[in-house]
């Protein structure tokens, strides 16, 4: 199955404050293996980048002013993701910004099936930090290239994190756009699908031997 790992960078946190997308990065996976197909674009947000956002990604107003507007690239982006399942870390944030950009140019919201790795990680590591950096550390993934939050580098790291996370369960989010007077809000319907993997006879035998050895060792040590 083909999936798209997706990440965005923005001028600030909330679309309610008029913040816009400045970068989109996407990587295609085919059967959990990255293909050579990627989508990447910077955007002129037609507004200033907040100080906090500048600290995160480092994209200045001057740099972004020379880039294309979202409307100029939207068809290339939509053609790339098509109806493929999207893999996003903190999906509600990215989708709220993407759907806001689409709404501003009179286009329909994204209706793709989405797996949110943030929710997946919280379920797998309750009480632990589940930021992308923290998950890279847990899975021993080299994130030394991540000096700033940039969409394409984050996608590469998230692809590795996702592959490590899905061995137990997949949270699938179906996002529905709900338009208010000034903004597009996101409603989510979260469904969990647990993967049950039955042990083989050989694995059962090995496990039985391990338990006998381990219990004997622990009991008499």
Q: Which residues carry out catalysis?
A: 149
Q: Which residue has the tokens 């002129």?
A: 44
Strand order in the sheet with 21-30: 33-42, 21-30, 2-10, 85-88, 114-116, 169-179, 184-194
CB atoms within 10 A of CB 101: 24
Q: Which residue has the tokens 């990255």?
A: 34
Burial of 191 (0-12, 13-18, 19+ CB in 10 A): exposed
Q: Is the dihedral of CA 152, 166, 203, 208 positive or negative?
A: positive
């Amino acid at each position: 199955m083909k999936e798209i790992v997706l990440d965005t960078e923005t001028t600030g946190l909330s679309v309610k404050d008029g913040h816009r997308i400045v970068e989109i990065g996407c990587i295609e996976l085919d059967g959990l293996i990255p293909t050579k197909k990627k989508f990447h674009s910077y955007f002129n947000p037609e507004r200033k980048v907040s100080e906090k956002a500048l600290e995160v990604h480092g994209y200045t107003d001057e740099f972004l002013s020379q880039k294309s507007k979202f409307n100029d690239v939207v068809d290339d982006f939509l053609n790339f993701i098509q109806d493929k399942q999207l893999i996003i870390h903190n999906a509600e944030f990215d989708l709220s910004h993407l759907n806001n950009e689409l709404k501003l140019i009179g286009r329909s919201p994204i209706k793709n099936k989405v797996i949110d790795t943030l929710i997946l990680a919280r379920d797998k590591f309750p009480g632990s930090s589940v930021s992308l950096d923290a998950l890279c550390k847990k899975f021993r993934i080299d994130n030394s290239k991540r000096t700033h939050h940039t969409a394409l580098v984050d996608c590469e790291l998230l692809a590795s994190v996702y592959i490590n996370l899905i061995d137990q369960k997949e949270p699938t989010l179906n996002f529905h756009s709900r338009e208010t007077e000034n903004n597009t809000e996101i409603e989510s319907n979260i469904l969990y699908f647990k993967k049950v993997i039955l042990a083989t006879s050989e694995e059962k035998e090995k496990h039985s031997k391990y338990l006998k050895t381990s219990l004997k060792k622990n009991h008499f040590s």
